[in-house]
């Protein structure tokens, strides 16, 4: 079995911070977690799902969150975190954790999503 489980979502005021966590489990990640690119995506109501951040050996961010969000991973614990600072109402969305092998293009593994709501 392969599973990604997010946690840490909730309600926060604009300008505040929130940390999301994603725990990976299953055969594919048992001893090769470091060979997987981990990423965060988000989807706001009425909008398409969009890329937020990813990390393999280095990190990459969408322009909309660059300088505010930080993605990190722990290959021993097999977890990926997204620290969100200076949150804005437009950051409100369901946030999803995703994983793919580093040499592939598509993300076959997805979490259930966690709601982040930023109030003004």
pLDDT in tens, 60-89: 999 999 999 999 999 999 999 999 999 999
Nearest-CA neighbor of 91 among 104, 82, 99, 102?
Answer: 82
Question: Beta-strand (E) ranges in 27-78?
Answer: 36-43, 50-55, 59-61, 69-74
Q: Which residue has the higher pLDDT, 91 or 2?
A: 91
Is the per-residue pLDDT at 30 higher than 90?
no
Q: Give the integer Cα–Cα distance in Å for 53 and 104.
A: 17
Name the band, by pLDDT with cuts 50, 70 and 90, for residue 2: confident
- Residue 5: pLDDT band with limits 50, 70, 90: very high
Mean pLDDT of 43-57: 96
C-beta of residue 76 within 8 angstroms of C-beta of residue 69: no
Residue 1, pLDDT > 70, answer no
């Amino acid at each position: 079995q392969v599973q990604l489980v997010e946690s840490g979502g909730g309600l926060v005021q604009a300008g505040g911070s929130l940390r999301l966590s994603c725990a990976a489990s299953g055969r594919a990640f048992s001893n090769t977690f470091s060979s997987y690119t981990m990423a965060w995506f988000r989807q706001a109501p009425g909008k398409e799902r969009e890329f937020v951040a990813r990390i393999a050996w280095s990190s990459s961010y969408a322009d909309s969150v660059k300088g505010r969000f930080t993605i990190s991973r722990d290959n021993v614990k097999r977890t990926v975190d997204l620290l969100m600072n200076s949150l804005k109402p437009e950051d409100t969305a369901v946030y999803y954790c995703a994983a793919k092998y580093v040499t592939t293009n598509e993300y076959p593994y997805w979490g259930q999503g966690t709601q982040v709501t930023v109030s003004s």
